[in-house]
């Protein structure tokens, strides 16, 4: 069935990037409460995606700076993200939202910016009202380890599971122009002109950061059934996530064809 949202919980919103392995629990509970209210009011959440933050990005950055065996890096990065995914799962479930965790390294074979996941394995859980949860992950590639970002997973998940919108929850209000003003909407075709603008407020280590990569991800994974990508602030929840999921409007940036 078409409709609904895939929600990406950005690592800069749900973790404290100044402290390794730290979940911002009060923010995560706030997001979960708004998601639960929106679902009770009829919103459809087709999937949840978790970004790396002070788990995956921290560990991946540490391993890219030192010469450790690839197997050790892969083992540690995937474990850190499993831990974060489980923390998110637990908070969501405490608000009555049942997610089921699908580890991307086990069912995706990324090629460049396309995650190439076996989404047909995921759809059966939706029929049971268990919402699939995936996360930015590491996987073996070319005799080394590589990263698949939650950015590309969100788009491919939405396209494959029939969601019309992707919502990126960041720690800023949306795309900000070079003077710091919010860009409320932007046409997909004009994304290339945004080079000086920024999406991520959270500075510091980030192995998949940068607006240029995000723009290439959107262009590589866009599909015709998508109506838009919203970027909103997941740390300032004042009902804006409920409004977005139920009424399809919010303070933030809408990227649409
Ligand atoms: O924060 C990155 O996911 P993202 C995941 O969605 C890792 O780009 C393991 C760094």
Can you give the pTM of this predicted structure? 0.95
Task: Report the percentage of the chain scoring pLDDT > 70.
Answer: 95
More confident of the two residues 237 and 239: 239
Would you put residue 100 in left (φ > 0), alpha (ψ -120 to 50) or beta? beta
Residue 39, domain CATH: 3.40.1160.10
CA nearest to 104, candidates 120, 87, 117: 117
Q: What is the pLDDT of residue 199?
A: 60
Quick one: pLDDT band at residue 1, thresholds 50, 70, 90? very low
Question: How many structural domains is the chain composed of?
Answer: 1
Residue of minimum CA distance from atom 8 in ligand 1: 149
Quick one: pLDDT band at residue 2, thresholds 50, 70, 90? low
Of the chain, the end-to-end C-alpha distance in Å amounts to: 21
State how far the Cα of 6 lies from the Cα of 132, in Å rounded to an integer: 10
Residues with CB under 6 Å of ligand 1 are 11, 51-52, 56-57, 60, 77, 81, 136-138, 147, 149-151, 207-208
Strand partners of residue 231: 168, 253
Choose which residue among 55, 81, 113 to substitute to test ligand 1 binding: the one with the highest number of ligand atoms within 8 A of its C-beta.
81
- Rg over alpha carbons for the chain, rounded to the nearest Å, is 17
Q: What is the pLDDT of residue 204?
A: 59
Q: What is the pLDDT of residue 127?
A: 86
In degrees and rounded to multiples of 5, residue 60 shows phi and psi of -65, -40
Quick one: pLDDT band at residue 180, thresholds 50, 70, 90? confident
**Inter-axis angle of helices 240-247 and 25-40, nearest 10:** 30
In the block, residue with structure tokens 């939706």: 126
| 189-217: pLDDT as tens digits | 888 777 656 665 445 567 777 777 888 89
In degrees and rounded to multiples of 5, residue 170 shows phi and psi of -105, -170
Give yes or no for residue 124 having a pLDDT over 70.
yes
> Which residues span the domain enclosing 24?
5-256
Per-residue b or e along 50-69, where b marks 16 or more CB atoms closer than 10 Å to that residue's CB: bbbbbbbbbbbeebeeeeee
């Amino acid at each position: 069935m078409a409709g609904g949202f895939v929600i990406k919980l950005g690592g800069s919103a749900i973790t404290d990037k100044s402290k390794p392995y730290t979940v911002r629990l009060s923010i995560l509970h706030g997001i979960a409460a708004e998601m639960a209210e929106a679902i009770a009011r009829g919103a459809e959440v087709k999937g949840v995606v978790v970004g790396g933050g002070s788990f995956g990005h921290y560990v991946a950055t540490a391993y890219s700076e030192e010469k450790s065996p690839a197997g050790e890096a892969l083992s540690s990065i995937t474990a850190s993200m499993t831990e974060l995914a489980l923390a998110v799962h637990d908070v969501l479930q405490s608000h009555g939202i049942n997610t089921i965790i699908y580890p991307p390294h086990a069912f995706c074979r990324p090629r460049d910016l396309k995650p190439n996941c076996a989404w047909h394995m995921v759809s059966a859980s939706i029929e049971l009202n268990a919402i699939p949860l995936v996360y930015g992950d590491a996987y073996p590639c070319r005799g080394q380890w590589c990263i698949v970002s939650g950015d590309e997973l969100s788009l491919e998940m939405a396209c494959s599971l029939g969601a019309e919108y992707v919502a990126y929850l960041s720690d800023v209000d949306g795309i900000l122009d070079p003077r710091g003003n919010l860009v409320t909407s932007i046409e997909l075709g004009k994304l290339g002109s945004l080079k000086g603008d920024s999406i991520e407020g959270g500075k510091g280590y980030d192995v998949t950061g940068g607006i240029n990569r995000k723009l290439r991800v959107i262009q590589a994974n866009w599909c015709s059934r998508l109506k838009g990508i919203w970027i909103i602030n997941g740390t300032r929840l004042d009902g804006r996530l409920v409004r977005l999921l139920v009424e399809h409007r919010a303070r933030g940036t809408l990227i649409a064809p």
